[in-house]
Amino acid sequence: MGLLGEALSRPGVRGALWRAWYPFFSRRIAGRGVDFLNYAFDPLDGVRPSLDDQDEAWRHNVQLYAHVAGSAALRGRRVLEVSCGHGGGASWIARTFSPEAYVGLDLNPEAVRHCGSRHRLPGLSFVQGDAQDLPFADASFDVVLNVEASHCYPDFPGFVDQVARVLKSGGLFLHADLRHAGGVPEWVGTISRHPRLRLEAMRLITPEVLRGMEAVSDRHAALVRECLPWPLKGLGRDFAGVRGSLTHRALAAGDLDYRSFRLVRS
Ligand SMILES: C[S@@+](CC[C@H](N)C(=O)[O-])C[C@H]1O[C@@H](n2cnc3c(N)ncnc32)[C@H](O)[C@@H]1O
């Protein structure tokens, strides 16, 4: 492994890079109405949620949220989304499932600003904060949702401890993300062996994410082309999962695994 590879394998270095990258990216795409930052999802069984015009434009990104959270009973519940990004998922869930309160948290202050100005709904709020140090009281949420973000956290076990702390007994942890194949046993082990969480379901969803990624590839490629300076375009295409990028090829080859989880707080 080269020096750069060695540096990038350190969780602290990767965490610092993501901490700098997301506010930079949010500033570059500001004003374009980008409400989702995920790779998207297209179900293999063809069963798709019906969406209004506002959400239809983001169908494949919404479908990832529908897969992770759509079957949970959210009406009247207190929901925390850790790493809500630009808030498109938060807005769709708040409008579709009527939770009592929905708090979106993200480390990126530009994303939190974007959410505050674009997604104004009763019961929906956004705060800046760190997944590894959640600024909420013990047992204060019925559901914690976390979509395609935990690979950025330097301390994943610390994040899972925080989730278990803020969830009420019987509460749900709904989680989806990707890992290099070699990191999957540690990832799954951290979640499934947590003393206060019981794994109810885990699904490999790489095929559905690949289909979603391909469906949004042209839009992601245009964003990279129009918003990033030329030295960052290659990196941007990998980050955005454009067709033929490193990320797209690694998922297709099985070198990256995308999974979803449903856990219950004991
Ligand atoms: C790929 S985006 C996904 C955003 C959103 N869930 C979506 O699906 O559109 C990952 C998000 O994780 C956030 N993030 C990274 N590290 C974080 C941390 N330590 N605490 C909270 N959020 C973090 C980033 O700022 C970014 O918004």
Residue 38, domain CATH:
3.40.50.150
Q: What is the pLDDT of residues 129-172, one digit of tens each?
A: 999 999 999 999 999 999 999 999 999 999 999 999 999 999 99
Q: What tokens were used for 210?
A: 């690949």
Q: How far is the C-alpha of 92 from the C-alpha of 18, rounded, in Å? A: 25
Which residues is 199 bridged to in the sheet?
A: 263
Q: Is the CB of 22 inside a 6 Å radius of any atom of ligand 1? A: yes
Q: Which residues pair with 201 in a beta bridge?
A: 262
Answer yes or no: is pLDDT of 96 > 70. yes
Asked if residue 42 has pLDDT above 90, the reply is yes
**Alpha carbon distances (Å) from 22 to 38, 101, 109, 206, 207:** 13, 26, 9, 24, 26
- Can you give the pLDDT at residue 1? 41
Nearest CA residue ID for atom 17, ligand 1: 107
Q: How confident is the model at residue 8 (pLDDT cuts 50, 70, 90)?
A: low
Over range 80-85, report the average pLDDT: 98
Q: What is the mean pLDDT of residues 185-206?
A: 98
Q: How far apart are CA 77 and CA 135, in angstroms?
A: 19
Give Cα separations from 107 to 86, 134, 152, 153, 169 (angstroms): 11, 11, 11, 10, 26
Residue 216 within a domain: no
Q: In the predicted model, is pLDDT for residue 111 greater than 70? A: yes
pLDDT at 87 exceeding the cut of 70:
yes
**Three-state DSSP state, 194:** coil
In a domain, 57, yes or no: yes
To test ligand 1's pocket by mutation, which of 29, 106, 153 has the most ligand atoms within 8 angstroms of CB? 106
Of 244, 247, 266, which is closest to residue 258 (Cα–Cα)? 247
pLDDT score, position 14 = 85
74 occurs within a structural domain: yes
Let me know if residue 236 belongs to a domain. Answer: no
Does residue 148 lie in a domain region? yes
This prediction has a pTM of 0.97
For ligand 1, whether the C-beta of 38 sits within 6 Å is: yes
**Phi then psi dihedrals of residue 90, to 5 deg:** -60, -45
Three-state secondary-structure class, residue 226: helix
What is the total count of domains within the chain?
Answer: 1
SS3 at position 102? strand
Select from 65, 68, 60 the least CA-distant residue to 216: 60
Structural domain including 91 reads: 3-205+252-265
Give residue 250's pLDDT band: very low, low, confident or very high (50, 70, 90). Answer: very high
Query: Residue 2 pLDDT more than 70?
Result: no
Q: Worst-scoring range by mean pLDDT, 1-10, 225-234, 248-257?
A: 1-10
Distance CA 265, CA 139 (A): 10
Mean of pLDDT values over 37-48: 96
The mean of the pLDDT values for the chain is 95
* Pair of tokens at residue 211: 């289909």
Q: Note the pLDDT of residue 25.
A: 97
Residue 141 near ligand 1, beta carbon < 6 Å: no
Give the rounded percent of residues in the chain with a pLDDT score beyond 70: 97
Looking at the domain assignment, is residue 11 inside a domain?
yes
Closest CA to 209 of 236, 175, 187, 177: 177
pLDDT band at 109 (very low <50, low <70, confident <90, very high): very high
Is the confidence at residue 192, as pLDDT, over 90? Answer: yes
Task: Among 152, 175, 220, 258, say which to mutate for ligand 1: greatest number of ligand atoms within 8 Å of CB.
Answer: 152
Expressed in angstroms and rounded, the spacing between residue 149 Cα and the centre of ligand 1 is 5
Give the list of residues 6+ apart from residue 149 with CB closer than 8 angstroms, or none.
Answer: 82, 83, 85, 131, 177
Per-residue confidence (pLDDT) for residue 5, from 0 to 100: 55
Residue 172 lies inside a defined structural domain of this protein: yes
131: CA distance to ligand 1 center in Å? 9
9-18, 78-87, 155-164: segment of lowest average pLDDT: 9-18
50: helix, strand or coil: coil
3-state secondary structure (DSSP) of residue 75: coil
Percentage of the chain lying above the pLDDT 90 cut: 93
Q: Domain for residue 196, yes or no? A: yes
Ligand 1 centre to CA of 14 (Å) is 13
- Calculate mean pLDDT across residues 232-243: 96
Q: What is the DSSP letter of 133?
A: S
- Which residue owns the Cα nearest ligand 1 atom 15? 152
